[in-house]
Structure 1
Amino acid sequence: MPRSVDGWPPRWLTPVPAADVRRGDGEHCADFIEALCRVTKDSVAGGAGSAIALRGWQRQVLGHLLARRPDGRYRHRQALIGVARKNGKSALGAGLALYGLVMGPEGGEVYSCAGEKEQARIVFGTARRMVEMEPELADICKCYRDAIEVPATGSVYRVLSAEAFTKEGLNPTTVLFDEVHVQPTRELWDVMALAMGARVEPLMVGITTAGVRTDSTGSDSLCYGLYQYGKRVAAGEVDDPSFLMAWWEPGDAAADHRGQDTWRQANPGYGDLVAAEDFTAAVLRTPEAEFRTKRCNQWVSTAKAWLPTGTWAACADERPIPDGAEVVLGFDGSFSNDSTALVVVEVGDVPHIDVAACWERPPEAGQDWRVPIADVEDAIREACRRWSVREICCDPYRWSRTYQILEDEGLPIVEFPQSPARMVPATQRMYEAVVNRQVTHSGDPRLARHFDNCTIKTDQRGSRIMKDARNSPRKIDLAIAAVMALWRACAPVEEEKTIEPFAVWA
């Protein structure tokens, strides 16, 4: 998409029909902010007391956020806006909160939330100062320490912090979460989402920079979970028109964090709302991990990450594996809430990896969801019809019945127990192939996500990939299946199974 507006679009943007944007309230909200909201502190954006002048990319954010469906209702109920520090997040959030307070329904309840009350007061304090500086707002609003009230409509804007157990009974219309990445758990987010259920057009917006991937429970942090979910919606893996994500980050995860192109991609206000000279100075005195997180808006794992940053993306070659090609299939199966993966690797001097099929519990499914075994078996059969399958390598754990059925039908099943003796050399083979650009892949976002979720375990038997925690919701099954399949696809002739390559099966 050509950039007709500086700083737009972001790296990740969930789809919104242009017609929904046009019929929405984005322009009205932007006009409200520019007419009634003022700069509260001297900054690059302007002197204190001057009228806010929204940038084109900020108007685009509001247009997408406040889009309306053909039936006239707001399209979104939840949103995540991710942008690096010093790009005007607080002012935009404060203006949006005041718009919800003044222009929202009678009896509206607007809340600023954060991990700590002092953090929540940043956006609220900016909004209160805007009211105090604008006579038209001051005439209709009453300001208190932790609340702003509009007596004529009975609407109120309050500050909340992370003690979620005290928030039952609220009935919010607009919720602003500042710096979602510092939420200790997802409890407050879930409480507020549930509380909005009785409202006709509620909106909950998280405005944040990147942060840590895990929370205090060891699970995916709220912010990282929303980010991962938003990427799936943006990539078309999940159809959820009620969720919006606009997230700025470098297009190449391994981009030089010292480069101006990297800074521009992660900072739509670069050279405008945030001074270019500030980056030049900060990069000299800030550790790379912190600079990437706060200034480049990138997720930097504190775990023992497996692949070096950006190396997987550098191997992308978005081409399909042609029908009839000689391949190895890798299968990693589960039955319930984990994922089940079928990966295909084209045999050749530079093997090519793609996803044949993947089954993951849909977001709306309950905890009793089960993998459709018959569909899995049919997908394996279909892969054997499409390609010349040398082997189907799979861990015999739990799926022995399926393997026996398929082997009885003549399919080339090869057991690949995921023991250290097998997974250590297979993991090393994949690592070397990726780092040295000796393998390509289709660029499938599911495959990228599973590889990104891998961490490395090292003991006296060697290093192998694993989840970062036993019950982690992050899936790695496509990566495991790819590791197994690549190992077998690259096996020397003397190590190969003696069975003839399985020509198109019928």
Structure 2
Amino acid sequence: MPVSRGPKAKVSVEPLPWRPRGSESERFVQFCRKFLIVPNGHGAGKPLVIREWQRELVASVLDDPVPRVAGWLIARGNGKSSLAAALAVYKLFTSDMGGSIVCCARNQSQAQILFRIARSFVETSPELLARCQVGRELLYVPRNRTDFECLVSEPESLAGRNYSFCIVDELGVTPRETVDVLMTAQGKRPESTLLGIGTPPPDGVDSVMVEWRELAGETGEELITWREFTADGFDHHDLFCEHCIRLASPAYGDFLAMDVLRRDAKLVGPVRFRRDRLCQFVSGNENPFISQDIWDSLSTGEGIPDGADVVVALDGSHSRDCTALLIGTVSSEPHFDTLQVWAKPPDSPGWRVPVLEVEDAIRTARHRWNVRELTADPFRWNRTLQILASEGMTVSEFPWSPSRITQATTDLYSAAANGRMSHSGEKTLTNHVMAATVIDSPDGGLRISKVAPSRRNAPKVDLCSCLVMAHSRATWLASRPKKRKRGFSF
């Protein structure tokens, strides 16, 4: 296979000067020690020494029986890219005639990371460099007509590949379509291995890694060979628990930089730290709409006094999800509190939102406060709004159009960040706000969303949706001049 246009460098077709012994994984260890030099970092400039835990990982894909599909779950900072690059270079020089080594990553820059490490291994080894043609994006060994290249994880670019060994970097976030294409490409050779490496995926991602892990747990190694270093199941332990770090990071106390771990534990956020550094499959909001610190600073611990001018916001579910009522004072700096929430009880498939109870709760609020306005998205709740309006309540419709909801969401965030609002600190309201994130909607605006909307048990955000509407209407009403009563004389 050509490396690039123009004349190719003449390289030797002589065999490598070594006499390997033992199993394939033991030969890999000997290959690394004899031919590969650590390019940078811990042990830079010295022969690459494979630790026992690394050899055991490699044995899962090299030693008999060689699997078709394998997966490694290992925390960041444990040299997985260097190990994968070393494994790719080993297969490049030792494969049977006509081998094809492929590494896939989610983007070009990620793919280049592993390729640059592999190319550095070759270029710093006189024996390997003398037998390999080196290109910008391809390594080729004429002796066994085997090539190695890194590709972006796009199904179109991978279709028709006839690989002998394929490494999928960051399997947790690799599109399912990509993995499907790579798996269906197998079968053209007596042996071909697909190896996926990575850490747990973000919440809500339809991840092949989760599927492989569950399948390996159910079937053993019948379909997938699986190896993992993880502290999953110990989510209740402290963030910087040494026991958990040792479980997820076999390089702990060796070449893993402990100061980086301590820094990340404080700066990257607890959810991401648990996923990336402890390999725990945890759920959480990595990018909350309003941060916990800001939200806590706005709490007064007090409700809304009887008789106050208020706005009531309704976020209603059609049937089985959750319906919420929020109350807020009419003010340029409004105060908010939960009025009532109806949520589906566990194991209640036939449950429906009690619409009559929702309507009665709004009527009860009219007797306790001076309800200036009820606001809601009329979708599927138009009848309720019409009934309450016929009873004399002022009702405003709040359709979630892109322009309107983007402005309302931005205004609410600005008010929270600048301390121009407050809340009671009620637990359910706090939970809903902390579970909310902001996304770009398909129609071009910003809107509040759940972190993982596809999950059935995704945390609720209905009160946060109410907060967006209530803040918008409460501040607008506060900006309107009050109607002056006209006096009459006779």
TM-score range, shorter chain: 0.5 to 0.7
What is the CA–CA distance in structure 2 between the aligned matches of 1:68 and 1:272, rounded to whole Å? Answer: 29
Aligned partner of 1:33 in structure 2 is: 32
Which among 88, 98, 109 is matched to residue 118 of structure 1? 109
Residue type of the alignment partner of 1:267: S
Matched, 1:225 2:211: yes
Whichever residue aligns with residue 272 of structure 1, its letter is D
1:167 Cα deviation (Å)?
2.2
Q: 1:152 to 1:23 in 2, by over 3 A?
A: closer
Tell me the equivalent position of 2:487. none
TM-score (norm 2): 0.54
Contact 1:213 1:221 in 2 (8 A): no
2:212 and 2:224 in contact (8 A); partners too = no
Q: Does 1:64 align with 2:46?
A: no
Change (3 A) 1:213 1:221: farther
**Residue correspondences, number:** 283
Higher-Rg member (1/2): 2
Q: What does 1:290-301 align with in structure 2 at a 5 Å threshold?
A: 290-301=272-283
CA contact (8 A) 1:111 1:158 kept: yes
What SS does the aligned partner of 1:61 have?
helix
Letter in 2 for 1:26: S
Distance 1:453 1:252 in 2: 24
- Conserved in 1, the CA contact under 8 Å of 2:29 and 2:49? no
CA-CA distance at 1:134 after TM superposition: 0.4
Q: Structure 2 matches for 1:49-448, cutoff 5 A?
A: 49-69=45-65, 74=66, 76-183=67-174, 185-215=175-205, 220-229=206-215, 233-234=216-217, 237-250=218-231, 251-302=233-284, 418-420=350-352
Contact 1:112 1:177 in 2 (8 A): yes
Q: CA deviation at 1:91?
A: 1.0
- Contact 2:95–2:144 (CA<8 Å) still a contact in 1? no
Structure 2 unmatched ranges of 5 or more: 1-20, 287-346, 355-454, 464-490
Q: Deviations over 1:395-427 (max 9, x none)?
A: 9xxxxxxxxxxxxxxxxxxxx7642589xxxxx
2:73 counterpart letter in structure 1:
G
Cα deviation 1:80-101 (Å, max 9, x = unaligned): 1111111010110011111111
Structure 2: which amino acid aligns with 1:224?
Answer: V
Question: What's the offset of the Cα at 1:40?
Answer: 1.0
Give the Cα–Cα distance (whole angstroms) in 2 for the partners of residues 162 and 253 of structure 1.
Answer: 31
Residues 24 and 243 of structure 1: CA distance in aligned 2, closer, same or farther (over 3 Å): farther
Residues 452-502 of structure 1: CA deviation (Å, up to 9, x unaligned): 984455879xxxxxxxxxxxxxxxxxxxxxxxxxxxxxxxxxxxxxxxxxx
Q: Is the 8 A contact 2:235 2:282 kept in 1?
A: no
**Letter in structure 2 aligned against 1:53:** V
Asked whether the 8 Å contact 1:147–1:156 carries over to 2, the reply is yes
Unpaired runs of at least 5, structure 1: 1-21, 305-394, 396-415, 423-451, 461-506
Residue 114 of structure 1 contacts residue 182 of structure 1 at CA under 8 Å; is this kept in 2?
Answer: no
Q: 1:209 to 1:459 in 2, by over 3 A?
A: closer
Contact map agreement 1:30 1:62 (CA 8 A) in 2: no
Q: What is the distance in 2 between the residues matched to 1:239 and 1:88?
A: 27
> Could you say what secondary structure the match of 2:187 adopts?
helix
Name the SS for the 2:186 alignment partner: helix
Evaluate the alpha carbon distance shift between residue 159 and residue 459 of structure 1 in structure 2; reply closer, same or farther with a 3 A threshold: closer
Query: Aligned letter for 2:195?
Result: V
2-structure distance, mates of 1:110, 1:248 = 26
Q: Alignment identity in percent?
A: 30
SS of 1:140 mapped into structure 2:
coil
Cross-structure match for 1:389: none
- SS of corresponding position for 2:200: coil
TM-superposition CA deviations, 1:310-364 (whole Å, max 9, x none): xxxxxxxxxxxxxxxxxxxxxxxxxxxxxxxxxxxxxxxxxxxxxxxxxxxxxxx
Distance in 2 separating the partners of 1:55 and 1:227: 24
- Distance in 2 between the 1:113 and 1:80 partners? 14
TM-score between both structures, scaled by the size of structure 1:
0.52
Separation of aligned partners in 2, 1:280 and 1:168: 43
CA RMSD of aligned residues (A): 2.7
For 1:266 and 1:420, locate their aligned partners in 2 and report how far apart those are by CA, in whole Å: 44
Quote the offset at 1:253 in angstroms: 2.7
Amino acid of the residue matched to residue 223 of structure 1? Answer: M
SS in 2 for 1:27: helix
One-letter code of the match for 1:55? R
Measured in 1, the distance between the counterparts of 2:282 and 2:236 equals 11
Instruction: For 1:292 and 1:303, locate their aligned partners in 2 and report how far apart those are by CA, in whole Å.
Output: 13
Measured after TM superposition, the shift of residue 302 of structure 1 is 4.2
Hey, what's the Cα distance between the residues in 1 that align with 2:46 and 2:103? Answer: 24
Letter in 2 for 1:243: I
Say whether the 8 Å CA contact 2:271–2:285 is kept in structure 1. no
